[in-house]
Structure 1
């Protein structure tokens, strides 16, 4: 029995078809100089409709090597909280501790210290704002077209 390896559009893989924006081109009649607008139909393409972040190998390797469960949990929390095209997150200790089920703030501060030492995040001059290293984890498309 042959297996078709072509990706299919199914509800299980989160892919969907969309029509891209229609393009308006201007054409000029060389004889009369009259300008016409021509509407071209958009093209159909397949996109991933589920939210995701890019996690680079260096980040995965760090998470595998660390012995601190709090650091792993905070890493995943940051990945979940990172907004599209943002390179920062707000980490309020009371909110994070509540969300992660930590009874004290100790695990939070230990995890933040570990992530800073591993160059995953960096403190900003704004309280509770941390820059996220886009070479470790990123939400969006870093390649400009």
Structure 2
């Protein structure tokens, strides 16, 4: 593909054929409460509800959402803070917290000194990307910037 070439269709769509997908059952609509009755005896065996259930396909490849606030903070970060942020994004779970192990960070990022990592973490805290949690090494991630999963679950 040439950088001067024009495309009628998105040339990257072909690569999506290899996406790993999964399926899950989803209740699309829930109806009235009904009784389950034994046809032979007329005995009520239980209660339930009418529902329309279908299987939904989803993209099973790992991803993290970056919101506008996260994009806006990126140009203001140093190289070190950006590198630590990408480490965090790569290791995020489905919640708003992360445990940072300095030894693992050094191994993956190539940093030699703890001080450089702690300075980068402080910078991320100053830019409201991270906040201290209840214990050393555990941080809250700002879900208005980056989140893996449905951040609305944090409000429930």
Q: Could you tell me the TM-score, scaled by structure 2's length?
A: 0.69
Q: Which runs of 5+ in 2 are unaligned?
A: 1-7
Matched, 1:27 2:35: yes
Is the partner of 1:43 in helix, strand or coil? strand
Q: Which runs of 5+ in 1 are unaligned?
A: none
Shift of 1:11: 3.5
Residues 109, 34 of structure 1: alpha-carbon distance in 2 compared, 3 angstrom cutoff: closer
Q: Which has the higher helix share?
A: 2
Q: Distance in 2 between matches of 1:17 and 1:138?
A: 21
Shift of 1:36: 6.7
Output one character per residue of 1:4-60: Cα deviation in whole Å (capped at 9) or x when no partner. 9xx89x543x2636251689x74357xx67457789784122211111111111112
Aligned to 2:104: 95
Aligned to 2:4: none
- Return the match for 1:64 from 75, 83, 88: 75
Q: Could you tell me the TM-score, scaled by structure 1's length?
A: 0.73
Q: Which has the higher strand share?
A: 2
Output one character per residue of 1:64-84: Cα deviation in whole Å (capped at 9) or x when no partner. 232x11111111111111111
- Return the match for 2:21 from 16, 22, 30: 16
Q: Distance in 2 between matches of 1:136 and 1:55?
A: 6
* Contact 1:88-1:132 within 8 A present in 2 as well: yes
1:1-145 aligned at under 5 Å gives the runs 11-12=17-18, 14=19, 16=21, 18-20=23-25, 26-27=34-35, 34=44, 42-66=53-77, 68-84=78-94, 86-144=95-153
Where do 4+ consecutive residues of structure 1 move more than 6 Å? 36-41
